[in-house]
Amino acid sequence: MADEHDRRPGAARAPGPTISDVLAHDRQPPPAPLLESRYAFLGDEDIPFARYTCAEFFQREMRHLWPRAWQWACREEHLSDVGDTYVYDVGPYSVIVVRSAEDTVRAFLNSCTHRGTRLLGGEGSGYSPAFTCPFHGWSWALDGSIRNIPGRWDFPHVSHATHDLQPVRCERWGGFVFINMDPRARPLAEYLDVLPDHFRHFPLERRRIRLHVQKILPANWKAAQEAFMEAYHNFETHDSPNGGNTQYDIFGKYVSRFIHNIGNYSPQSLDDYPGDKWRRPPVTEEELLAFLSVYGIDPGHVPPGETARPLIAEALRGHFGDTLGVDLSAVSDSVMLDSIEYHLFPNMFFFPGINVPMAYRFRPNGEDVDSSIFDLLLLEPLPEGVEHPEPPEPVRLGVEQSYTEVEGLGWLGPVYDEDTGNLALQQQGFKTSRKPGLTLGNYQEARIRRMHMTLDEFLSAAMAKE
Amino acid sequence: MQRTTLHRVAGAHDVPLGKTLCIEVQGREILLCHTADGYFAVDNFCTHAAERLSGGKLKGHRILCPLHGAAFDVRDGCALSRPATVALVTYPVQVDDTGISIALAGAGDP
């Protein structure tokens, strides 16, 4: 049980059972990383609203964050054949990722070394057996080496050393292809921190993209992603009893996590929430079991003396095992059910779960401080021995469109509408507030603070060099 | 009234899913594309720099030009990315048990 009366800042927890208590007693126990908890108080100062609204701050991010941060550009299955490309845009920057040889993936700035023209027009997956600039026809091989210059006689000052495509750092982890535009960036592994160790238990390489939804959101990229970094909002935004006792972990500068339970909840954690909802009377085990109906499964009944959580986990093992053709018999109750969300600085999220199997990416929408692009991938396990199929094209949604329009999102459609429904209000509220910044909970919103602290390190280190 | 002629261009199993076949009909090069939503036929030349699209790649519903990477939607011919801005001509496709046919305006049309 948590001690909610501890007065040290950041030490208090919601009343009632903790996530660790629940996981420790799960019928099918979790792998060791899910039993770890790592938290330290990081401060309680407000975060200035200007960080979300001010053009000057946004430009600092454009100069000092995005060109220096590792970020995933695509999945490896986007690059199955030699010549397959993926164009990743962030702010004013554009990067081409290409499978340049059977065993090699490279990345280049998407810019002609003659007069700067963008080489590949569209964003997303494509195919180019070589790169040819549409302006004067200069061309490069897939390894970036310059191949042909029309009117070569006029360019004696041009060589491989000076005019090959400008390389971008490119590394792979978990089936994702990451890029970093800073040639001096430290290796990706240093940023990934605990991720490789934790995800050994849930390899994302052996997942396929079942659905990719790309939506424009009406808020700064940080506000947009912060709507997904805590489950404190579940009660009000989702009208949901889950989330009050969510566990938050901060593993270092770059990686944090939350775990919130599905298939049970803590009525005590909602003790001082408004009204009587879900406490008087509490949700019954039978009502919790009804979650199965979102998958079209007849929930049946909870036998006397049992609880819903292991029954839901077992039913979903059968359901997803059959649907996906994978053996889930050894998967823990927590991984089967829970929302387990790892964040990687600055803008990426990875979920090891089966019921909640997502990856997210949030980035600025072009050079607009007030809007962002949210990429949502559903990554489902791939049967043993099966090769990755061709990934689906993204379903693109405008600001006013609803996630319920997306075929295949199922029960998640209305949930994402709720998650993103506050953003326009928040972005506008930032601007009208006399109070100069937002206030964060010491524990439940600590991941947001950690992200801002690391962002400050990027911005201040770069400014010190200038 | 426009008269169209059906031209048998391939057997029912000649073009695997996700692949294309370049055929010549009435002196025109046409690219037959087999997508998850069926067969579509478009002109084989990119509307930007007249490169043969048969040297490119079909991804989902998009045919990608091998020269500058322009993408077209094979379902309606629309240009999806620069440098192409003009749509490809498309042709109706009919599929039956015996094969795949493309409808073209017949010779001598008014």
Element (H, E) at A212: strand A207-217
**Dist. CA B57–CA A134, nearest whole Å:** 19
CB burial of A25-58 (b: ≥16 within 10 Å; e: otherwise) equals ebebebeebbeeeebeebeeeebebebbbeeebb
Distance from CA of B68 to the nearest CA of A (A): 6
Directed axis angle between helix A55-64 and helix A446-465, to 10°? 70
* Mutation target vs B (from A86, A97, A128; most B CBs, 10 A cutoff): A128
Give the chain A residue nearest B66 (alpha carbons).
A128
Bridge partners of residue A348, in order along the sequence? A344, A361
Q: Tell me, what's the ipTM? A: 0.86
Q: Which is it for strands A207-217 and A395-397: parallel, antiparallel or unpaired?
A: parallel
Give residue A5's pLDDT.
64
Distance from CA of B82 to the nearest CA of A (A): 5
**Dist. CA B53–CA B41, nearest whole Å:** 12
Give residue A322's pLDDT.
96
Q: Cβ A122–B71 below 8 Å, yes or no?
A: yes
Tens of pLDDT, residues B24-73: 999 999 999 999 999 999 999 999 999 999 999 999 999 999 999 999 99
Give residue A466's pLDDT.
67
Q: Can you read off the two tokens belonging to residue B47?
A: 């509307």
Phi-psi region of B10 (alpha: psi -120 to 50; beta: other; left: phi over 0): beta
**Positive or negative torsion for Cα A282, A284, A285, A290:** negative
In the DSSP assignment, the letter for residue B52 is B
Q: Can you read off the two tokens belonging to residue A26?
A: 């799960």
Chain A hits for B61, CB-CB cut-off 8 Å, are 393
Distance from CA of A152 to the nearest CA of B (A): 20
Q: What is the mean pLDDT of residues B104-108?
A: 66
Cis peptide before B83 (omega within 30 of 0): yes
Residue pointed to by tokens 């550009």 = A73
**Dist. CA A267–CA A242, nearest whole Å:** 9
Quick check: helix, strand or coil at residue B49?
coil
- DSSP H helices, A159-233, are 160-163, 188-192, 195-198, 221-226
**Positive or negative torsion for Cα B95, B96, B97, B102:** negative
Could you tell me the mean pLDDT of each successive run of 10 residues in chain A, 466 residues long?
Answer: 71 95 96 96 98 98 98 97 98 98 97 98 94 97 98 98 98 98 96 97 95 98 98 94 95 97 94 93 94 91 95 96 96 97 98 96 98 98 94 96 95 96 98 98 98 96 72
Element (H, E) at A125: strand A124-127
Judge whether A16 and A245 are in contact, CB under 8 Å: yes
Bridge partners of residue B4, in order along the sequence? B105
Q: pLDDT-derived band of residue B21, with 50, 70 and 90 as boundaries?
A: very high
Residue A330: CB atoms within 10 A of its CB come to 8
Give residue A7's pLDDT.
83
**Dist. CA A142–CA A78, nearest whole Å:** 16
**Dist. CA B54–CA B45, nearest whole Å:** 8
DSSP secondary structure string for all residues of A378-422: EEEEPPTTPPPPPPPPPEEE-TT--GGGSTT-TTHHHHHHHHHHT
Judge whether B40 and B29 are in contact, CB under 8 Å: no
Q: Can you read off the two tokens belonging to residue A173?
A: 């982890």
Give residue A6's pLDDT.
72
Q: Can you read off the two tokens belonging to residue B23?
A: 């055929």
For B64, which of A126, A131, A132 is closest by C-beta distance? A126
Judge whether A208 and A388 are in contact, CB under 8 Å: yes
Q: Does position B110 have pLDDT exceeding 50, yes or no?
A: no
CA distances from B44 to A462, B41, B92 (A): 50, 9, 15
Chain A hits for B81, CB-CB cut-off 8 Å, are 120-122
**Residue B63 φ/ψ, nearest 5 degrees:** -100, 135
- DSSP H helices, A227-307, are 234-237, 285-289
Q: Cβ B64–A127 below 8 Å, yes or no?
A: yes
Q: pLDDT-derived band of residue B106, with 50, 70 and 90 as boundaries?
A: low
Give the chain A residue nearest B80 (alpha carbons).
A122
